[in-house]
Amino acid sequence: MSDHRTDIESLCSYVGVLQLVHENMKRGANEDHYDAEKATAKKQRSSKTKGKQKQQNVEWPTYFHDLFKVKCSIRCQVESIHACPCVLQVYKALNTVLAFVSSRKHLATTFPMVRSSVEGLLKRPLELAQVAELKALLPDLINFAYIARDQLRIQAETLSQVQRSGRTSPDFSPRSLEQSSSQLPGIEEDEHVLVLEFADNTRGRKQRTGSLLSLPPAMSAAQSKKLIESRDERFRMAVNELLSATPDGEDPVELLKAAARDHIPANPKARSHSPKTEAEVPSPNDRPSVDEVIQEIQEQRWYANQITDRRTFSARTAREGFLSRPLSASIQQALRDSRKITSFYTHQAAAINAICNKEHVIVSTSTASGKSVIYQVPVLRFLEEDPSATAMFVYPTKALAQDQRTALEQLLWSCPGLRRINVATYDGDTPQERRAAIRDGASVIFTNFDTMHASILPHEELWRNFLHNLRILAVDELHYYSDLMGSHVAQVIRRFRRVCAAVGNREVVFVSCSATITKPAQHMQRLFGVEEVEEITDDGAPSGCKDYLVWEPPYVDEHAPKLGRRGAMSEATRLMRFLIKRGIRVILFCKIRKACELAMKTLRTELSAEGRLDILAKVMPYRGGYSQEDRRRIEHEAFSGNLLGIVATNALELGIDIGVLDAVIMLGFPFGLASFRQQAGRAGRRARDSMAVLVADVSPLDQHYVKYPDALYNNPIEDPVIHLDSKEIVEAHLQCAAYELPVSKDDTVFFGPLLSEICDKKLIKDEDGWYHTHPKYLPYPQKHVAIRGAEEAKYVVVDITKVQEGGQGTKILEELELSRALFEVYEGGVFMHQGLTFIVKEVSHDNRMAKVIRADVNWITSPRDFTDVDAKQTYRIKEIPNSPHRLFFGRIEIVTVVYGFYKIRNKCILDVVDVDTPPWERQGTGLWLDVPQNTLGLLRSKGISPAAAIHSACHAWMNGFALAADLRTECKAAEKELKAAESRRKRPARLIFYESLGNSGVTAQALDHASEILKKAQHTVESCPCEEGCANCILSPACREHNTISSKIGALVVLRGLLNFEINVDGIPTQVNEFNAADTIVEADFVRPIDGVEVETA
């Protein structure tokens, strides 16, 4: 009773709430009749309840007044409200209590706590059924459900800490780590807490962070009063909607009570001990059709017109092709027994015929169209005809190579005459002691270009017999090789062709497969350095009917748009759970690793709360960074058909066979249209109907595709880019080639016209005219060339949970590149692995090790960091045609500092923590343009944020540069740019670009074409029909800050200013600084050039 009294006294001390109650009492009983008339005069939202729509000004039954109105006399004194014999009825009592809790920054509201306070006001018990009725009336505004007890915690204390303090943690500190860490994956806490809260109870002052994060509410009395009144108004509207939609002869009270039964929460623990009543998940053969599932989605209570666009592509029947030369009976039998193949699609037959004629081939058809058959079948033929023949299959990832190796082994085993054939994987994971046996005994090798570059070619003398007998080099997923990596791979293939020619083999047939790209033959020609390529794009494979959906999360409350939309993460995971329960096998693609882990964590929580551990056991995450053992286990489970759902990054975007998938959900628009279509193609791989759903987030790029969905299907895919004219890349590989075999000027046939100049200047010439590797690259030049970009140091993440418990041994969870580790492991932060949460206890930057301990927490952490990109020295200066301004090229310094982190739950900041982390400093080459002073002045005079203008201008320039994928710029963060307080970290008014991975010469080439790119960017932005920016002009899928800080008009002003074009000042509308944000940009200083630098003419 004393606790009751304390709650009521605390509540009654809240001045703003008391003022509101006092005003309510003054209005008296007539208030409700007036409010009802006022509410019914407003526009009503459509109701899903069937029946005749009634007229407005509906008379409320007494029952609804009892649910809502305040029956206090004017004679009641505010100061003694807790002693008043009158009754505050259910809704207003709950509304007042929850508003009070929100104002006091309580971050979770357990029903027992709320109930005690409400009952103190009501002077009678508060029943679950009464709250359930309110939930039925306002399903989107009221959250009334059980959650795991540990989800309320806001501190990660160990049990020993709680015991030493001699108290029970008020925020539900974790159980013993032994219990937590010993649970099986997918099984969470078995104790749950009933929570009651309003969806808007975490909203306070207007956000300044681009709708990404918000600080905990800090509401004044006036704000609390406004919040209570807005909720009251929503209640009135909901009652009027129900009454208006109630059919004649029906009792709205009984309808409400009936609906409320479905909203009485069931304790998951109690449900887990009751007989299982959940519907079994249908088998893949028994699942409903996709069209039926979409119709069912639209009938759900939670559906609020999220589907903003739906496209249905009809099924396509198979078209059969014929071989010009029949296969042997043995191979035909093997295809029937292992793959059930009795005929070939048109594109398969065309490719096999071309290979038989020793033509180089590229096949560019849809996902799951059977492209691997086109090079596997010819290999079987070659091996039948010549047992000494060899083949090499190259894949971009080890997982894909492993998958394809298994498929070929099954095919060979089904072919009686070829069971003796030895197939092996030769990559970085191959043990040294097995490598000699593989070289000498394997007929088919599965590898990657990294291994070809660093291991096979440098030791060509050990591979001569294999390469002499090589018949086919097949490269899968050719579209993957683009930009910097593609440019390196092009030189590796030229080195490979040169070595094959040196051992007397000029008959190797090159075969490649690719997803649908614009000019496949041209891409293969540039990558392989060959002239004649047979291009096959006529897809004869069947495909099932496919539905594409664009899914926009609904408003939290459609009558209060300021509350924002529901999170894309929660929408995607809810949709995934819905589909899985109906037998739809789903893959959820996330853009980054952390999102992948967070999605898996969300699924664990939601499925555990529903008691569906049977489903949770069949959902797994998959991303880069996992150990080889974990990856193989997950791949096996997926391929075996044991999984119902996979949460993945684009690591599964490529063609790894992970079994039958019926649906793809993309959490946010991927990195480009090619990725969008590649990911969508992962569903419906065996001619069944399927669906692909893009769940849009709040970023401007996603919202562009919500408004203009035609672009997803009609816009052309970006052509893969190969950089063959980079002296830096060609020189690097010539140093490697000279180590493998001495180079001569005749090798121009392989390496192109740059060879002669590079050999004379950079290599060592002997007396016989041969060129050798420069001594500074010896003894092993290949280690100086990272074909995937600069190699990074790696941090090891170690689980020390058992050590903390007094046990023995630690477990390595994964390795993180330095560029990731800084943002993912910092002391006190939450690290996620396979959907499980760990607290980072210690980070040693000297040893590059992070020690973590298992803890079930319901928050995540996000680093507080900044990256400064500064020009330090100028190497070259170049004119911009007809402009007094200049382009600069030189040395830049990039400094990244992680100085703290946010503790976050549901996008709300729970705590702000400082950490001491050493800065990550690196240097490179870059290109920059300084924004003219008069342009800055114009931007400010028109109220345009200089930071937004510069940020968008950088993106516009990069969108016009073919090799922009290998460049980075300094993206502007909303957390800084929307602050009203002055920033101590002012940035120069400069467009700056630098190489993200090593020194490939991309920025030097960018300088040579920068003026043309600048004009192209200006024309694109000016002519683009969009209003606020799109992916064609100023938005970038690669923007680390989600394109939040952007300005199309500002970008145009900057670009025209640099080009010295006339600007119509009067035609620029004055912008409104909505957040009263401070200016963070200062005029750029001149960067000192090295001696002898002269301005180059345009």
Mean pLDDT highest for which of 115-129, 554-568, 626-640, 659-673?
Answer: 659-673
644 and 282 Cβ atoms separated by less than 8 Å: no
Report the pLDDT value the prediction gives residue 279, as an integer from 0 to 100.
75
860 and 832 Cβ atoms separated by less than 8 Å: yes
State which H helix or E strand residue 489 sits in: helix 483-502
What residues have CB less than 8 Å from 369, skipping those under 6 apart? 345, 347, 539, 540, 541
- Look up residue 251 and give its two tokens: 């009792």
Distance CA 822, CA 916 (A): 11
Distance CA 195, CA 444 (A): 60
DSSP 509-526: EEEEEESS-S-HHHHHHH
Residue 390 CB neighbour total at 10 angstroms: 21
Q: Nearest CA to 244 among 35, 33, 40?
A: 40
Q: Nearest CA to 474 among 302, 641, 352?
A: 352
The letter for the amino acid at 671 is: F
Residue 1045 CB neighbour total at 10 angstroms: 25
Report the pLDDT value the prediction gives residue 998, as an integer from 0 to 100.
62
Report the pLDDT value the prediction gives residue 955, as an integer from 0 to 100.
96
Distance CA 963, CA 942 (A): 34
In DSSP terms, which residues pair with 967 in a beta bridge? 995
Mean pLDDT, the chain, integer: 82
Asked if pLDDT for residue 412 goes beyond 60, the answer is yes
Mean pLDDT highest for which of 117-131, 325-339, 670-684?
Answer: 325-339
DSSP state of 1070: P
Residue 18 CB neighbour total at 10 angstroms: 17
> Following CA atoms 663, 664, 665, 667 in sequence, which dihedral angle do they give, to the nearest 10 degrees?
170
Look up tokens 């989800």; give the residue.
151
Side by side, the strands of the sheet bearing 586-590 are 307-313, 546-551, 690-695, 663-667, 586-590, 645-648, 619-622
Over the stretch 848-889, which tens digit does the pLDDT of each residue have? 999 999 887 878 899 999 899 999 999 999 999 999 999 999
Report the pLDDT value the prediction gives residue 656, as an integer from 0 to 100.
60
Distance CA 677, CA 368 (A): 13
Q: How far is CA 616 from CA 403, 465, 594, 607, 996, in A?
A: 25, 51, 20, 6, 39
Report the pLDDT value the prediction gives residue 202, as an integer from 0 to 100.
46
Asked if pLDDT for residue 1005 goes beyond 60, the answer is yes
Report the pLDDT value the prediction gives residue 62, as an integer from 0 to 100.
67
DSSP 590-636: ESSHHHHHHHHHHHHHHHHHTT-HHHHTTEEEE-TTS-HHHHHHHHH
Burial 747-763 (b: 16+ CB within 10 A, else e): beebbeebbeebbeebb
Q: What percent of the chain has pLDDT over 70?
A: 82
Average pLDDT of the segment spanning 397-413: 87
DSSP 390-418: EEEEE-SSHHHHHHHHHHHHHHHHTSGGG
What residues have CB less than 8 Å from 796, skipping those under 6 apart? 812, 815, 848, 849, 850
Average pLDDT of the segment spanning 337-357: 95
Over the stretch 70-97, which tens digit does the pLDDT of each residue have? 333 323 333 332 333 332 367 777 777 7
Query: Parallel, antiparallel, or unpaired for β 920-930 and 883-905?
Result: antiparallel
Residues in the chain: 1098
Report the pLDDT value the prediction gives residue 177, as an integer from 0 to 100.
31
Look up tokens 């994971």; give the residue.
429
Report the pLDDT value the prediction gives residue 119, as an integer from 0 to 100.
82
Q: How far is CA 57 from CA 598, 672, 957, in A?
A: 47, 52, 59
pTM score above 0.85: no
Mean pLDDT highest for which of 276-285, 427-436, 1051-1060?
Answer: 1051-1060
Report the pLDDT value the prediction gives residue 181, as an integer from 0 to 100.
32
Q: Nearest CA to 211 among 960, 1093, 1043?
A: 1043
663 and 691 Cβ atoms separated by less than 8 Å: yes
Report the pLDDT value the prediction gives residue 999, as an integer from 0 to 100.
66
346 and 540 Cβ atoms separated by less than 8 Å: yes
Report the pLDDT value the prediction gives residue 1072, as an integer from 0 to 100.
82
